[in-house]
Amino acid sequence: MKISVIGAGYLGTVHAATLAHMGHEVIGLDTDATRIAQLAAGTAPFHEPGLAEMLQEGHNGGRLTFTTDPADVADAQIHFLCVGTPQSKTANDSDLSFLRSAIESLLPHLRSDALVVGKSTVPVGTAGVVESMISATGAVLAWNPEFLRQGTAVKDSLVPDRLVYGVADGERGATAAALLDAVYAPLLARATPKVVTNFATAELIKVSANAFLALKLSYINAVGEFCEKAGADVVQLAQALGHDDRIGGKYFHAGVGFGGGCLPKDLRSFRAQAQSHGVDALDEMFSLVDGINADARYRTAETAVRLCGGSVAGRRITILGASFKPHTDDIRDSPALDVAAQLAAQGAQVTVSDPQAADTAWLQFPQLAFDSDVDTALHGAELVLLLTHWPEFTSLDPAKTAALVQRPVIIDGRNALDAAAWQAAGWDCHGIGRGGSSPGVSRTPSLGSASSGGPAQTVGSASSGGPVQTVAAVQSGSAV
């Protein structure tokens, strides 16, 4: 089938590459000429495991092309809308300006037998607006939400855990579903679960899923704070709870909090939608979830201040991690960079190391030093914080690492290290929510007194009711 993918961000690029891999003839469209030139040459413009190889495969096979001219997609029968819907700069709502612009550029080139498929994450009711915009062309609409996770997006596209079709009633809906079945035939042949529903349900599924994941993460972070104060170990507690299949162990790890371009944005959009529909309980619940996430970052910075004797001014601090999670170079709303910026604002000499994101991050955080070489970044550090659990960091040899730093003190902001091994190598190791007697987990500060400084506050607060924007979110922006 001839398919166009409109928007060449994370979602659009991965979707276009995987559709070509499935045998379709795919053309990607975007207004960013620099990005399109990279993609047209078969080069990935960002780090995502497996994507570069798939782009090259599509390029070499002639099944995958890219353009900046909307007229070039006129002969496609199916058009996937994969543009960004970032959070509004002034509120919790989603900014749909990119989506509207994409549809307006597509309208003159839509065939009467075309299918327009929304994949962007949008507020409930958006599909109805899009349907009215395209109705005069004769094209039909479906909403097919994406469930990609950065770091595993290629796998999630080729082996999804479900497909969701939001379609209209009657013949138009049946036509849309049949065309989507043809697109996803290789996936359906493997018995991938399929849910066919109405537009509103399809629109809500993605944000509901992400809001729930955020709830689960903030829950275990709040329990982690309780564990620290009660002398319990949140890692062991989460392991025990995770054995209950009603709860499960995924997205259940206490740490410095979640970030990225999806979870925080979708959580706030969910709040705004609930509020606009009069469901105040959801708005209030997820306002608290958002606040707990911001507080996790604040408390991590506060711990760093305490371990430096009440002030980080002039201290050499190394942050391991810049991306919001491993296996991506995405720094949007990165907890690691948020904490780094808080400490730098208090006068710390902060060096950040990341195997993929350093080249992107230094442009947006000029107050921080960056070094992709972890040994160089660690040299002379008085405090180390592991905030993104890249394998390159979790596999560090604690004895060799101790020889590089000035003082062997580390905050394991992801509870990803073998604390006993690090303690045995002479490290003062501080996990998150590990107030119990777990081997090798220190509960006492190693440098100076326990008085805390005043880490830079996040923008907004846990109880403000408005958008909770962290330092990293404000600096990095929210474009896909």
Among candidate residues 299, 376, 306, the one with its CA nearest the CA of residue 339: 299
How big is the CA angle at 14 (ends 12 and 15), to the nearest 5 degrees?
Answer: 65
Per the structure block, which two tokens stand in for 468? 């909770």
CA within 13 Å, CB half, 437: 0
Beta bridge partners of 80: 5, 117
- Strand order in 25-29's β-sheet? 64-67, 25-29, 2-6, 78-81, 115-118, 140-143, 163-167, 194-197
Judged by DSSP in three states, 4 sits in strand
CA gap 227, 230 in Å, rounded: 5
Active site residue 308: no
Determine contact, residues 313/348, Cβ cutoff 8 Å.
yes
Catalytic residue among 82, 227, 262, 308: 262
Element (H or E) spanning 202, and its range?
helix 199-230
Element (H or E) spanning 341, and its range?
helix 335-345
Q: Which amino acid appears at position 306 of this protein? A: R
Burial 13-34 (b: 16+ CB within 10 A, else e): bbbbbbbbbbebbbbbbbbeee
CA dihedral 284, 290, 293, 294 (to 10 degrees): -110
CA gap 80, 15 in Å, rounded: 9
* Active centre residues (catalytic): 262
